[in-house]
Structure 1
């Protein structure tokens, strides 16, 4: 089966029941785009409308939603073009109404030529986004310096290996984020 553009025609299949796996998973829901042959699948414990709708939104529709760090959709980074979402196919939209197979083929070839440049630009935007996020996170981190023989109060598990005043090692390591200096 073929389609004139991504997501113009797609299928959703439910395969049932397999031997029960962890978390009572025994069904498989599979969505496939007939244009790109892209397939998404997810194991489900029960086949109810809520679970299938969640699968479609999370695994299919969200691939056509632009992400903040890259400003591109995962679909666009993969295939070089924008997807026509299922809701758009049933409605009269400019892209659907003015579809021309010959122009579409030429545009798809051009987009595939540009996909590497789109990915590089998205990678650069992602690096800048990650730098901004790290700078924001690090601005809120308080530096703590502990010396050997300092007394500390522990709050939760972490990565420092501590011992009691008698020299007995504690069984778990502790993170400085969860330690406070203890003053006698």
Structure 2
């Protein structure tokens, strides 16, 4: 059974709401809270009573919103720090598998074959590497 466009629209709306209100692993915050300064409530929470919606009254809610607006810059700064730490963790985990290999003059090596150096008739079966080539001199940082 397929969904017609009227049945899909609420589903797309809910998926969009969930995406904006799900915290990311890099920041620990939701995109909505970083832009607006406060956490959003999905429409379901307005219909079905939850602890978050039942324990709020208008006065404390207004105070909390004002406090959130006052501290939005600090929140964004802390998220920037989290992002840098996350990027460093990802870089470290990626780089732990990288092995530096230095070649000496006289070693044999292969060169990556590019589209302009391969025969167009070979198509996707064209070789990925050319060579072997003998290293005669080092031209600079990792260039031979």
Q: TM-score, normalised by structure 2?
A: 0.65
- For structure 2, list consecutive stretches of 5 or more residues without a partner in the other structure: 119-127, 135-144
Q: Relative to structure 1, is the Cα distance of residues 89 and 136 closer, same or farther in structure 2, using a 3 angstrom cutoff?
A: same
**What does the per-residue CA deviation read over 1:46-89, in whole Å, with 9 as the maximum and x for residues that have no partner?**
836457524531x2211111111111111111111111112211
Name the structure, 1 or 2, with higher relative contact order (CA <8 Å, separation 6+).
2
Higher helix share: 2
Measured in 2, the distance between the counterparts of 1:170 and 1:157 equals 5
Q: TM-score, normalised by structure 1?
A: 0.53
- For structure 1, list consecutive stretches of 5 or more residues without a partner in the other structure: 1-45, 159-168, 172-177
**What does the per-residue CA deviation read over 1:103-129, in whole Å, with 9 as the maximum and x for residues that have no partner?**
222211110001111111111011000
| Among 53, 73, 84, the residue aligned to 1:116 | 73
CA RMSD, 1 decimal: 3.5
Select the structure of larger CA radius of gyration: 2
After superposition, where does 1:1-184 map in structure 2 within 5 Å? 47=5, 49-50=7-8, 53-57=11-15, 59-144=16-101, 151-152=109-110, 154=112, 157=114, 170=117, 182=132
The number of equivalent residue pairs is 121
